[in-house]
Structure 1
């Protein structure tokens, strides 16, 4: 978004913003029958580069932003948090078919649409919901060393005042009790939102093989791109090229690929790192077996 537009938005009083957003959403729902559903979803993982890849894609000339474009929505969190609002509400966040057709007439290529929520990968009901609503959507998964992912996730939660425990060690020690029964309750009460499951799942989110199995069983390997976070850091252009090719987009080379949501964190205690390397070792081995791809995370 251009800086003058961003500055103008900041000057608008919050009650006015809320009223405008409600009106726009009502309009989107009223015109939902004319709107598309997403062609792709970036489903995770948390602190794994989801926001960076999303921002890279919405800069692509053949990717349409969510509606309204000025709001810069990354996800309506439909398949995790707001599923009870229904498909019309979900469609209200995407462009109309007519808008995509006009763009196709100008460029010769129908733009793709999509969204990105890192909670989708971890939410136990998301695979079934996505399969029901957009069974042909292409899915992008970004996986980060689970030790570093957990640590970064903790400090993000601390920064947003969502984590009251003063140390990472205390948080991971409390996780089993915090998450006890939460997955089962989500599965039996589909409208239930678990605060601990979403906000305090530092170790559980790093057991990637548990999460990916449900997605691969429903969508198959060809419909899911698994991209290591390290690839984004080492070669952003190369990773972006892989994503574009997976989505069958014309490959473009942007002038600069910025990494979003960087979070400086203090060094992790060596004993804690050693503990978590051992904790995740069997899970990483199962992930390697599932994907037939080695991950250099166990050192």
Structure 2
């Protein structure tokens, strides 16, 4: 059997793609070529339907045990193997599957201010043409309806940010020594030190990695009549695309995305009103997060002094 020694399990839109891209350059580590295999998200085949584009994403899941093991088979002897699927922390069933399959694995969690994470998540899907709701707060209010309809985890803007509940459950399965808890701002502001922390946690040499590359940066997509048409076409393709071969689907989708991303400009930032509206949903969970981790996250509760502007990953 060839199974991973470590997993980056959370959270989406918190630099996990960039972390994966950095770690692949360490000679003592081997990460799967598929960045998000999503193996532990289902017991057998994933669902066939969901929100816009979900069916195609489900088709990409590496859900067969033999296929998952094959991801790590090329690892050079003596290297530690790993993968990064940032939905594992959110999915409590996935946590249990990890415990059953790789109970000794080391787990890496990168946390981001949950309001900023939710906004970045919403805008990512907006820029991909899949999110139809142009108002962030309204999109968050639609979450219960979308979850009931079986939309995939990436549409759960608020639920994914309840880290206190997620970590509390994780620590019933794994010893805290098996879990490295990091902050997104550390990857952004002190990348070398952050990478050395990861390497020390995994037990490989430090001082090897010197940068966290910009990966999965969401492009600028203004709300214009032309872009509204392009987004409608992309959402339609998201509903119908699973019925067509992958090469044909990608060939049709590529030009639409290129047209949608044709402009440059600053991506929208959270307004104080939006932050103040969404933050109460997380307040109780942030208190729980502090209790579970013994760390302070009071900066996340400050509406008047939000985090500085930075590139979204």
Scaled to the shorter chain, the TM-score interval is: 0.7 to 0.9
Tell me how far 1:265 sits from its aligned partner: 2.7
For 2:103, what is the secondary structure of its paired residue? Answer: coil
For 2:9, what is the secondary structure of its paired residue? Answer: strand
Contact 1:44 1:142 in 2 (8 A): yes
Matches within 5 A, 1:242-261: 242-261=197-216
Write out per-residue CA displacement over residues 103-130 of structure 1, whole angstroms, 9 at most, x where no aligned residue: xxxxxxx111100011111123101111
TM-score normalised by length of structure 1: 0.74
Tell me how far 1:41 sits from its aligned partner: 0.3
Distance 1:255 1:50, change over 3 A: closer
Q: Distance in 1 between matches of 2:64 and 2:183?
A: 33
Counterpart residue number, 1:166: 134
Counterpart residue number, 1:206: 161
Q: Does residue 275 of structure 1 match 2:277? A: yes
Counterpart residue number, 1:234: 189
Q: Distance in 2 between matches of 1:265 and 1:214?
A: 35
Q: Distance in 1 between matches of 2:41 and 2:168?
A: 18
Q: Output the aligned Cα RMSD.
A: 1.8
1:87 to 55, 60, 65: 65
Question: Which stretches in structure 2 are left out of the alignment for 5+ residues?
Answer: 46-62, 219-265, 303-313
Q: Distance in 2 between matches of 1:224 and 1:254?
A: 21
Contact 1:60 1:252 in 2 (8 A): no
1:62 to 18, 23, 28: 28
TM-score normalised by length of structure 2: 0.71
Q: Does residue 41 of structure 1 match 2:7? A: yes
Q: Distance in 1 between matches of 2:203 and 2:127?
A: 38
Q: Distance in 1 between matches of 2:143 and 2:277?
A: 15
Q: Distance in 2 between matches of 1:75 and 1:95?
A: 17
Counterpart residue number, 1:21: none
Q: Distance in 1 between matches of 2:31 and 2:105?
A: 16
Contact 2:2 2:69 in 1 (8 A): yes
